[in-house]
């Protein structure tokens, strides 16, 4: 495919990223306005790089005319403060199922941690995009994780990129140790979750009062 064909192929995927970011960010905005706790801390999204799409197609034996079978060309990441928030976000996505998106399947890398140490909850969805040429349904991946899981995954992803997937054994071992540390951090934070939420609510109340003066 030449640059122009790629550009056209990616149009619905780019549109889906933008729409999904708006939709999940809106949930946070609305809950904040209602003075309710938001299980969503922040949302990011990306289109998979063309080189990564081609690598994945090669790995999964997907022919170039069937690239839409790749599930994570559109990827949305939802970050949460606490592990318990992940369940709430998963529920929110389930509630949307059959409305503006359809759930295809899920991967629970939280209860089934990957050998690398990776933890996250993934939901693969079908998402209809209204294009200039009518509706196009695409696949997208929603990754839901805590801030600690995200910190670990971001660092591990950079190292994996640097070493082209072959991270040296000693660094790999250290990454497994840090994955355990991130897991412990999540567990400890969950234990004092109510304290933290009270403190955050007090802080928000004070900030709102100051901004009204």
173 in catalytic set: no
179 in contact with ligand 0O2 (CB under 6 A): no
157 in contact with ligand 0O2 (CB under 6 A): yes
72 in contact with ligand 0O2 (CB under 6 A): yes
Nearer to ligand 0O2, 19 or 77 (CB): 77
In the set 14, 69, 91, 141, the catalytic residue is: 141
Nearer to ligand 0O2, 158 or 200 (CB): 158
* CB-CB neighbours of 89 under 10 Å: 23
Token reading at 118: 């990776």
Distance of CA 101 to the CA centre of its chain: 16
Using CB under 6 A, which of the segments 24-32, 114-122, 129-137, 164-172 binds ligand 0O2?
114-122
Closest CA to 70 of 78, 81, 60: 60
Among 118, 138, 151, 189, contact with ligand 0O2 (rule: CB under 6 A): 118
Minimum CB separation of residue 89 from ligand 0O2 in Å reads 16
Q: How far apart are CA 153 and CA 89, in angstroms?
A: 19
Is 176 exposed, middle or buried (CB count within 10 Å of its CB: 0-12, 13-18, 19+)?
A: middle
156 in contact with ligand 0O2 (CB under 6 A): yes
Token reading at 128: 């209809």
Return left, alpha or beta for 52; rule: phi > 0 is left, psi -120 to 50 is alpha, else beta. alpha
Alpha helix (H) residue ranges in the chain: 3-33, 50-59, 83-96, 147-162, 169-191, 193-212
Is 99 exposed, middle or buried (CB count within 10 Å of its CB: 0-12, 13-18, 19+)?
A: exposed
Among 121, 122, 145, 183, contact with ligand 0O2 (rule: CB under 6 A): 122
Nearer to ligand 0O2, 31 or 113 (CB): 113
Among 90, 153, 179, 182, contact with ligand 0O2 (rule: CB under 6 A): 153
Using CB under 6 A, which of the segments 17-25, 37-45, 150-158, 195-203 binds ligand 0O2?
150-158
Span 42-71, contacts to ligand 0O2 by CB under 6 A: 48, 52
- Please, what sign has the CA dihedral across residues 128, 131, 135, 136? negative
The residues assigned a catalytic role are 141
Residues that bind ligand 0O2 (CB under 6 A): 48, 52, 72, 75, 107, 114, 116, 118, 122, 153, 156-157
């Amino acid at each position: 495919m030449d640059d122009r064909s790629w550009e056209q192929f990616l149009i619905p995927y780019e549109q889906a990223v933008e729409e999904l970011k708006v939709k999940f960010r809106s949930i946070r905005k609305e809950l904040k306005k209602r003075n309710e706790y938001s299980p969503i801390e922040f949302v990011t999204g990306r289109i998979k790089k063309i080189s990564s799409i081609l690598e994945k197609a090669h790995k999964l034996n997907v022919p170039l005319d069937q690239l839409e079978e790749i599930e994570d060309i559109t990827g949305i990441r939802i970050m949460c403060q606490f592990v318990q928030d992940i369940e709430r976000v998963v529920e929110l996505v389930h509630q949307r199922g059959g409305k503006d998106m359809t759930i295809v399947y899920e991967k629970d890398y939280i209860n089934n941690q990957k050998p690398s140490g990776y933890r996250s909850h993934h939901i693969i969805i079908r998402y209809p995009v209204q294009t200039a040429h009518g509706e196009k349904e695409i696949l997208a991946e929603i990754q839901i994780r805590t801030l600690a899981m995200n910190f670990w995954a971001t660092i591990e992803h950079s190292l994996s990129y640097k070493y082209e997937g072959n991270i040296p054994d000693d660094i790999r071992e250290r990454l497994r140790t840090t994955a355990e540390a991130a897991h412990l951090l999540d567990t400890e934070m969950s234990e004092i979750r109510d304290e933290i939420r009270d403190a955050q609510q007090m802080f928000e109340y004070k900030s709102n009062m100051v901004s009204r003066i």
